[in-house]
Amino acid sequence: MRPHFSVFSLGFALLTTPALAWEDGPSLEELMKPAPNQAWNGFALAGHSTTKLADGVYAFRNTGTRSIFMVTDDGVIATDPVSEIHAKLMRDAIAEVTDQPVTHVVYSHEHWDHVQGGQIFKDEGATFIAHENCAKHFYDLPNPNIVMPDVTFADDYTLEVGGRSLELMYFGPNHGDCMVVMQPDAGDYLFIVDLVTPGGAPLGFMPDYSPHHWVRTLKEIEALDYKAIIGGHGALLSHPSAVTERRQYLEALMEATQTAMVSGDNPFELHKEIRVPEFDYLRGYEGRIEDNARRMLMYYGIGW
């Protein structure tokens, strides 16, 4: 069962939050315009910042990666510690808004660029939570900087602490096989890591993505009723059409790849020919399209 979504607008909540601390960059009004939206390219890659999104819900960014945390009556829920530096800075940011301990840490997925550095939270007694497939990866390839999850789950999971909730929605394999999309307090915004980076082309060779499951997942997210995306990378907030933009890019790339493969040209040179010019406005397109094409050629060439 997917959670019931509030009818209240995230935009209204943000604009009427008295203590709102906003990141430098495009205005909320600009960010919430649909794709294609050049405002999604106006984000910081240096320093760190904390943004209050709603009562007790905060986004924390260090350089190019973002986590969220929630303050409840019985402790703080933190997500993705990322690294020792990121986790320490996030812990300091939490201390600036509450003296509550961090009681829970939630991993979005298994990749090391999001889940290292959590020992600082474990030392204060936090319970770590992840999809059960994440734990399998951690056991298979141990990393001493990753705290093993204490609680795992197989499908969707609702974390309830101090009268608040964090919904963890599992869509099956996509980017890895344990990715969850998070929804604080059954609200109008989703915290999405790596599946969508609003306004940008996918990163390089798109490692550890299953293209058809990725597209399926994006369609399932599109079918949900929500108002905004909190990005794990890139823009702080974006309109839900960023999900559609990413799906349509992938579908166009898949079609262009299949067309190129029946041309009879040298298969080792096809990545130089495959283009999706209708999406050449995406951030990083020119530098990434050949690697994106290589990934799709591998997908259709050997089924991986």
Which residues neighbour 173 within 8 Å (Cβ) at sequence distance 6 or greater? 210, 213
Residue 25: what pLDDT? 85
Q: Are 289 and 250 in contact (CB under 8 A)?
A: no
Q: Are 244 and 217 in contact (CB under 8 A)?
A: no
In a domain, 241, yes or no: yes
Which CATH number characterizes residue 44's domain? 3.60.15.10
Please, what is the average pLDDT of the chain? 93
Top-confidence residue, 207 or 288 = 288
In a domain, 1, yes or no: no
Q: How confident is the model at residue 287 (pLDDT cuts 50, 70, 90)?
A: very high
Q: Compute the distance between CA of residue 157 and CA of residue 149 in angstroms, rounded to an integer.
A: 14
Q: How confident is the model at residue 6 (pLDDT cuts 50, 70, 90)?
A: very low
How does pLDDT run across 161-170, given as a tens digit for each residue? 999 999 999 9
User: For the residues 144-162, what does the mean pLDDT come to?
Assistant: 98
User: For the residues 48-75, what does the mean pLDDT come to?
Assistant: 97
In a domain, 2, yes or no: no
Q: How confident is the model at residue 7 (pLDDT cuts 50, 70, 90)?
A: very low
How does pLDDT run across 8-54, given as a tens digit for each residue? 344 444 443 434 456 778 999 999 999 999 999 999 999 999 999 99
User: For the residues 53-75, what does the mean pLDDT come to?
Assistant: 97
Q: Which helix (H) or strand (E) holds 105?
A: strand 102-106
Tell me whether strands 151-153 and 102-106 are parallel, antiparallel or unpaired. Answer: unpaired
Q: Range of 49's domain?
A: 10-302
pLDDT at 189 exceeding the cut of 60 = yes
Residue 5: what pLDDT? 31
User: For the residues 195-220, what does the mean pLDDT come to?
Assistant: 97
In a domain, 284, yes or no: yes
Residue 4: what pLDDT? 32
In a domain, 210, yes or no: yes
Top-confidence residue, 162 or 5 = 162
In a domain, 133, yes or no: yes
Residue 264: what pLDDT? 84
User: For the residues 131-155, what does the mean pLDDT come to?
Assistant: 98
Residue 2: what pLDDT? 39
How does pLDDT run across 99-120, given as a tens digit for each residue? 999 999 999 999 999 999 999 9
Put residue 140 in one of left, alpha, beta given phi > 0 → left and psi -120 to 50 → alpha: alpha
Residue 22: what pLDDT? 63
Weakest mean pLDDT among 55-59, 69-73, 204-208, 235-239: 204-208
H-only helix segments in 77-171: 84-97, 112-115, 119-122, 132-140
H-only helix segments in the chain: 10-15, 28-31, 84-97, 112-115, 119-122, 132-140, 211-222, 241-261, 285-302
Residues forming beta bridges with residue 104, ordered by sequence position: 77, 127
Tell me whether strands 102-106 and 75-79 are parallel, antiparallel or unpaired. Answer: parallel
In a domain, 4, yes or no: no
Tally of domains within the chain: 1
With pLDDT > 90 as the criterion, what percentage of the chain qualifies? 90
In a domain, 3, yes or no: no
